[in-house]
Structure 1
Amino acid sequence: MKTCPVCNNQSVPGYANHCPNCGVTLTAYKKQTVEAERLRLLGGELRLLTVFFVQLIGIEKLIKRDTDETIEKHIQDFLTNIEKIIQDYDGTSNRIIPDFRILGIFGAPHAHYDDPLRAIRCASNIQDWWLKSKKESKFLRNVDTRIGVNTGRAFFGFVLKESPFLTVIGDTINTAARLTEISQQNEILMTKTTYNAVLRYADVTHIGEQAVKGKKTKVDIYRLSKIRTTPRVTEPQRMPLYGREAELKKLIALADRLADHRAVYCAINGQMGSGKSRLKEEFAFHLSRNEAINHFETNCSVDVQSPYYPFRSLLRRFLDLHEFDSQDTMTKRIHDVVGQRELSPPIAKGIKHLLLTDIGRLRSEDIRAVNDEIYASVRNFIRSECRQKALVLIFENFGQADVMSKELITYLISELEDEPIMFLLINAPDKFLQTASIPVDRIDLKPLSKKDIYALIRHMLTNVDKHLADFIYREAGGSPLFTIEAIRNTRRNKIIKKVSGTWCLEKEQVLVFLDDLYGLVMSTIDSLASNARLIIDYASVIGYRFSFRILKELLAWPDLKAQLDYLIAEGYVVLSSDGEDPVYIFRHNLLKDAAYQVLPVRKRKEIHQKVASLFEQVYRDTLSTFYEDVARHYQASDRHARAAEYFKLAGDKAKNLYAIDQALSFYEQVLNTKNEIGDELPKTLYQDVMLNLVDIYEIKGDIKKMERTARERLADARQDKDLKNEVLFAERDAYALILLNKTEEAEQLLISSIDRCDEQMVSILAILYSDLGMLYANKYEYDKCLINYNLSWRTAHANNIREAEIVCLFNLSNLHKSLGNYEQALDYLQHGLEILIDAEDIRRNIELQYLIANIDYEIWNIEKAKGLLAECFMTADSIGSFDAYIKSALDLAFIHSLNGDVRQVEKYLQSVDKKISFLIRESLLAEIDLKKALVYFNNQEYKKARDYVVNSMRIAEKSYRAEIVFQCQRLLSLIDKQHDLEHAKKALELAELMKLPPLIAAALYRVTEIFSEKGDIERARYYGRKALLVYDDIKSRLNDKNQQHYVNRPEYTRLLEI
């Protein structure tokens, strides 16, 4: 035994690290001596404690059976072991010898943020130790334990001034003792206050409310079944849910409908403070107890909108990834999960686009492909998840979601309607709900009734004078948030007082802070203790969401976690994600904004600069996730050049995710910075931004702005003698001119740029040759076109530029197909499949397969074409090659319409319409409308056919798509019988202008048909012979097998008859 230097307790076990009486750490007692002296001076203080009693039952029987010495030794050993377990959890123990009890205290003399959890784990460990010891000791065979746990405020200190012992007293302690008395042997009971504090870790049986000795009100009791090592989902706030029972019941009923394997869509809307988040939390808590449903939650609020932010957050949770994980770790984890769940490899590719976005400069087609692959991957991954177990996805603050996330949600809602998934959108804009293609169950939260507000008041104040309740209701209305803050404010300012156990109104006055939301929020902030207020201040600068790592670097407090737990309990912040680096969010945006606004500007700038630097240090391996945040912080700290660097990177990321409007916004920030700081902004950074802006104008279809911007920057590059940027902007300028059909200017610019390229510029040289080939194709100078496509191919091949080789392959194949050189076109495609394109590159393989099917159709190998198209249709949808999917579906609809198979036609047209709603490209719309017109014509729906062909021709003429204009004129000659010859001759003129044999043959055949129908046999034969000559020329270039298919073309057989 040894003596405690603080309380003079002389019966401290020799091995003990803590005094069992006062809890002092004996190895470092000086600091706690100060604490004890402070308590001697003050007499004590109220502490939030978790306490438990361990009651030994059966000792009385031992007293009758054994000698006093034997009993004393065993009891001493029991108590000593129990005390040691309590000390292992950093708790304090007090012996109550006459009753064979030990009191375990957690929260005094020193508190921990997880004292309730420590206490429960300690109690569970004591029980496990006791049950194990019973099996090993005959003496313990008939001795059992009973444990009761409670959490609440209690007095801690010196009860008597002359007493040397620190202790605890109060109703909290008495309630724990009463639980011990009513518990069964080897059972742990806890009160609701303790359960609320450990809910995420404790599996319990709810016993219900019971009367206990010494208390007027019943105590809500839970029996501990199991303690978890890892937490469950975050529990709802402790405040009961008043007045929203019907809404909660509706949500639960909607979730139960998932058993029918049909999707459910719901939106919760309401004013701030109406209880949306509170209702959502109760619903999430209900879901956490439903073994048949998984649920995930993501918050859409960010300080700077980042493309797909809520989905990136969701995927991290699905994949158990942290924001600080390195790119290698994330890549491995993504592939591991996809492999373990036996998902298709393209899913990993799309997920990596989202979480590990490439910020290099991509072609517009590749950017669109990235977007399509993201859509397909997210859809397929979520579909896989909900097929394993029904799934509920909760989107908090959905109104603040970025545009890309809203579009993706709309797509998922359409695609997953036959899956057991529920989308719950909190604060979804009315405009979004009105445009949704499916019915959405709306829950619009109205103000609470007077009865419900009174119940809330009684919960917070227990006994309340009616006049006071009327006053609070009158001031706060039906808002639960306003009611809670009104009560807190009136208590702080002593507007109410307790008389004979009942709260009454001391003085009636207008609660000015309730007049507006800002006043309400400032009132809640001002009520915080200094440390808690400082956390709110710093967090408000970090952002709406803030990580523990960043905050800890700013505020190096040992009890920071406990302080944050307090702010969670008080409803200021919410734990968004747990783990090694917990992430918190403000419960209300206005709370963050109000705290930020009152900070001195100088202090704000200082914190912003620290935060920006911390992001670069703490998240250096995954900094791309935080480009937008770092940019914002540097901008707010007046480090404009640094901010511009990160805004540029954020723009690059957004652009490559097809988030065009967001990319424009970030790039405009760089341009604004350029206007402010001039030459301080690096020239290369500015030029890179301008080049990306030119690319964006192309994607948006604003070709005139693309051309104007490229021309301006070309002039700057020439003036700066910057050869690389001169050639880059010249290529962009020339490409825009081609799209505007200004071919002469474009030709001169491309030729001069090719001449200026040096040996370091082979990549851009391959593009220049390709552009020049495209230009000559538009001028119908096909020999020059072939020369330049081949030069592009050779340049790319010689320098191992695989992507440029593939582009050349597509260009050459399409050109030969247009010229009727079908065998050569097939040879290029076969070369691509065998040599250039990896088998794992499913997207490229599908694109090639579609082109082969298209050529097979022209050859009239219908069955082969149909088989390839069906394969394209199925695979393209799964990997997100939506252009190939739409084109395949339309071609299949057309082939089935030739045979009058209306059912199959409708099936494919519906598939197309479903995708067009979300994924249509304007460049593809003319082609889609034309193919629809052909299908409807074959179905004899002539009005629809006319509408679609007219719209197709309008778009094609605007974008200089001469081949589509030709097909439209040809089809109009079939629809518009009054002007059939006029349309047919326009089609023939176009075909001869373009010098494309297959089009010339088709136009001649249509003119032949018209003269034949009019009975003008001579002219019919004249045009028919000319058509047959062209068809024969095309046939002569085919191999024998393909010629056998070609002669079965309806046009060919009909011409032979004429």
Structure 2
Amino acid sequence: MQCSNCGFENSDKLKYCGECGAPLPVLCPNCSFVNPAQFKFCGQCGTRLTEPVSSHPGPGENVETRNRVAAKVPEAERRQLTVMFCDLVGSTALATKLDPEELREVVQQYQKACADTVNRFDGHIAQYLGDGVMVYFGYPVAHEDDARRAVRAGLEIVDATQKLNERLQRDFHESLAVRVGIHTGLVVIGEMGGGAKREQLALGTAPNIAARLQGFAEPNTVVISSATHHLVQGFFKQQSQGMRVLKGIVPPLEIFRVLNESGAHNRLEATMNAGLTPLVGKHKELQELVAAWQRVKSGERQAVLLNGEAGIGKSRLLHAFKQQLAHEPHLWLECHGSPYFQNSALHPLIEWLQRVLDFRREDACDVKTKKLENWLSHYQQPASETLPLFAGLLSVPLGDCYNPPKLNPHRLKQKTLEAWLAILMEMAQQQPVVLVVEDLHWADPSTLDMLNLLLQSTQTARLLALFTSRPEFMPPWGESPDVVQINLNRLTQDQVETMVAQVTGAKMLPAPVLRQIVTKTDGIPLFVEELTKMVLESGMLREDNNHFELNGALPPLAIPATLQDSLMARLDRLAPVKEVAQLAATLGREFSFELMSAVALVEETTLQQGLAQLVKAELLYENPHPNGHGATYVFKHALIQEAAYQTLLKSRRQYYHQRIAQTLVEKFYDTASDQPELLAHHYTEAGLIETAIAYWQWAGENAIQRSANIEAISHLTRGLDLLNTLPENAQRDQLELELLTYLGVATAATKGYTAPEIERIYHRARELCERVEYSPRQSSSMLGLWKGTLVRADFEKALALAQECMRLAQKKQNAELLLTGHLTLGVTLASWGELARAQEHLTKALELYQPSEHRTDAFEYGEDPGVVCLSYLAAALWMLGYPEQALQRSNDALALAEKLAHPFTLALALNFNGDLHYLRREQHMMLERAERLIALAEEQGFPFWRACGEIQKGSALFERGQHDEALALIDQAVAHLHAGGAQIGEAAGLAQRALAYGKMGRVEEGLQIIDEAIEMVKNGGERHIEAEQWRIKGELLLMQSDSGKFNGLLPAQQQQAEECFRRALTVAQQQRAKSWELRAAMSLSRLWQKQGKAAEATAFLSEIYHWFTEGFDTADLQEAKQLLGEFHLVES
């Protein structure tokens, strides 16, 4: 390896030149590309060239030293940042009045005031730009309240600048003014610059907007953007300044002037005016607090610690408890730990006293002393001893009336705490007291000493001490029996859904949106509320009466801006192992040590240590393997995983995803094979589009084979979305056709054959078929279009499509197309009443069908073609007069469907088998098949087949005499079919309903319905049912007698009925439908017998009866035989 600095030839294994010490270029171990020395990843293939910081130190440094250096210069990352820009007003004019040295001193004082304030709120001064200062809050370490810190810092900088003016006026007769602009937004932050001049800078619109905003501020004021306003609303008093156009920024922004702090200590207090979401899932804990209060009222001091993670609802529970006590005499005292004052002794007590005493900024010292005297006068403590203690605590100078206590600091603190405790006990003697101290995890040590003193005091005070803390807090009193700890749990799924409904005003969200909210929020009430609000404000939904609907495709829900800082703060506390967290987040919510170890370019022990830190910090749960072979890890919160992932730069993200995908393929093939959607996801995020599409298709096919059709739709749609990013060519067309084929199958299964999406899918597929030379998908695309027209009962169009399919098959001489052509023609002709031709085509289709060759057709076409052919052939055979052959074929179809174990095909077979039993008048068998069909359809999510099963069940129940229940069930099912656009079977259903009405005595309604059914068939409907329709109309006409008896009918009515029966016979004979002809003959023969034409009736019925060669045990032929016997008796 030649040194580019001195030309000396070095060994390839060296990192530094042996002649001059300069860093040597780095040879990539994967592709042999020569990279500059400072590269961490290969510029050619992306392989990592250096080990992570925690692996091995370089020459002349130890691990600790290098970690410190690395901590100072982190890699670039994405994060939410609150940017503050402060600018001096009139500095140019000031420069003309002051000596440059004096001006330098003034600017330095201003910058020091800014730096002191920023440091107090843990901000980061990014740049001094002349007399301007650019400050970041949320970098290099985030806090859960960075936006609030920025606004508080801005207000304090204004105050500090005004304090500087006292000296400036005295020394230079000049004064300063400052303008502050603050904005929150997403940035990429990292090292910028070159050579010796390098800075950690944020790139994005946020810094520009902050700088532009300060230009709209009046001197000595703070203005913020609407984005920051959304995060700090309720914590500050603000005034809208309207919409403003910022140079280079689109669209215009609403800006707000910050007046002062509102006094709110936490989010609950900040949102109080806007209204609180009702308490959910904490009623048991509330009752425990109420029980403690009852004991307090009886004179028994109680202490309770509410413990739970951020956002779990501790403050909300306290507020609900406070409302419970609203009508009871008590004194409620409240103070809070603060992240800003963790090292300020007794800050919660000081803040509480200032609030109780109504101290104001403008109060003079004597005014504050007087307020303190007035307050102490209510208690028995001697003011001469007590007032100096509290005055010292509150930094109020003592006048001549009081002597300062002559005590060492330790004893002074002790006496002050004892005085506070004595006053608290006096309060409890006057009335029951509730003392609330929130956020003990932020309390200073002296405050904890104060609470310890309280817990060691008398047990008989009427005092309830309520504390709140997060899980990391270790109480100084340990596991004291005097303190009851209540650990707050996460919400259940039902409780999350209840809370979502409260946020939406009881308006239902689309199921996929609700599902994402439940999954991502993990039962944390704050997360639930904020994510739901974000969804409602995002524009992705539109209101429709009592529910919301999606405006388009549902994207993955992002982390609300209100939660970004809180989540990022948790990650930043683990900076040394953040890279481990980022890689883990890229793997997913759950991952195995085995996989992570294979992907991570670190030693196993280093990785184990990093994961152990994440587990200890409660970012991950660890589930040890029962056999001791590694472990699996799960992110405690989905949003923590998302936050860690979102910090990665796009380039880094893609590298991780590609490495994960390659590792899965090479080392975890079983996982890759079982979960192709996992590979698809990683290849998608890696930007390897064509590979990702192939895996999304594989995932879709796998899901269809498991009857997971909703998942299949999701996978295949993802593939199609990616496909749209590729240039148009023949290969793209073929890929799209493959995806559409399977998408059509899954969509039909879940939404029915007539869903609008189905027609769009198969029309597009057909277009693509015409563009490719030949594709095996031509058959499935034509079949998909044909099914939609058939189920909509558009038989002319269905027949045209079937004929087109047959012509194409004959032209191509393709067996698959021939099978499809015969199947579609056979089914269409059967529905249209051309039964003999239907039988011919269906028989030919079955000859082409080979179960071993077509075993996967069900997954490609939606149903197995063999089962479809057998089912329709069975129906045709029954109508043609072969009831036993029909039953055999139908049972063969059912057996084949069960063997294939394809749920959608099984549903079809059960439906047709049930229909055949209905035709054979075997109600008990139809009911059994219907109930089995309904159960299967409910389990698998097949709405079309469920409705069909309910119609069959209703028909069976009607025959059992359960008329009202039966008709209600049928009406409900028909409504569902209509809603989905299905009309096939409607004419037959109407005929059944008309006959049912007649049997119930509602003859006129029955006649109206049967006329509607007949008209439907005339207009191109299901002609196979036409003969039965005319027969049923004739039967209804014979039911019109007022007395209910035949002799009550007028001759004209009898004549009309006979014409209907003759019409039924004519249609049946034209269709060669012997079973319909038999039924029509029985109806006409019965009429003739009642008219005294027994001989004619016998001869007529005998002829058709003796035509049959099978099925003599079926109900129709048994009834015909019985009628003939009755006619013979009448003749004799």
TM-score by length of 2: 0.42
TM-score by length of 1: 0.45
Structure with the larger helix share: 1
